[in-house]
Amino acid sequence: MTAVSAPAQRRSRSPWFIVRHLGAFGVVGAVGFAIEVGLFQLLYGHLGTGAVVAKAAATVVAMTVAFFGHRHWSFAHRARTGFKREYPMFLAINGLTLLLGLAIVGFARYGMDLTSAWALQGANLVSIAIGTVVRYLMYRRYVFPVADAAR
């Protein structure tokens, strides 16, 4: 296990670095959010796809775009542990948060019997907010670890 240098530790804890890191994560997330919300609305609201299928398809497309954004921008300063390790881990984490999102949308649609595209979009937004926090914490820990944790 190699130690992270003192200048690198100070730099990664500086307020400016944290703002830039969270900003990059936010921009990638915003692009993914726009893709997911737009695709969900298109599939469910306009093409008549079932709510859960629309949520699953929208999430898969958005998470694939997000992986490349996070790997090459928002977490580019982290250890590079290899695509063959990172991508499956990223997919597993997103799979877990997808299941959480599907449960929320499914509960809204079938448990609460909501059928309005706007009501289900509200449930979708709640699932995205919860999933975002979970994904950020898990990406930092498992997918894009600090250099000394990667060994």
pLDDT tens for 46-92 read 999 999 999 989 988 998 899 999 888 888 877 778 889 998 999 99
Residue 111 falls within a domain, yes or no?
A: yes
Question: Please, what is the average pLDDT of the chain?
Answer: 85
pTM, two decimal places? 0.65
pLDDT tens sequence across 134-149: 988 899 889 988 876 4
Among 14, 11, 27, 10, smallest CA distance to 74 is for 27
Please tell me the total count of domains within the chain. 1
15-19-23 Cα angle (round to 5): 170
Q: What is the pLDDT of residue 144?
A: 87
State the residue range of the domain holding 72.
Answer: 6-149
Among 105, 113, 138, 108, smallest CA distance to 36 is for 105
124 in Cβ contact with 53 (< 8 Å) = no
Alpha carbon separation from 94 to 67, 99, 130, 131, 145 (Å, rounded): 10, 8, 12, 8, 17
More confident residue, 13 or 108: 108
Residue 1 falls within a domain, yes or no?
A: no
Q: Please give the structure tokens belonging to residue 75.
A: 């977490």
Q: What is the pLDDT of residue 117?
A: 92
Q: Is the pLDDT of residue 12 over 50?
A: yes
More confident residue, 94 or 31: 31
Residue 99 falls within a domain, yes or no?
A: yes
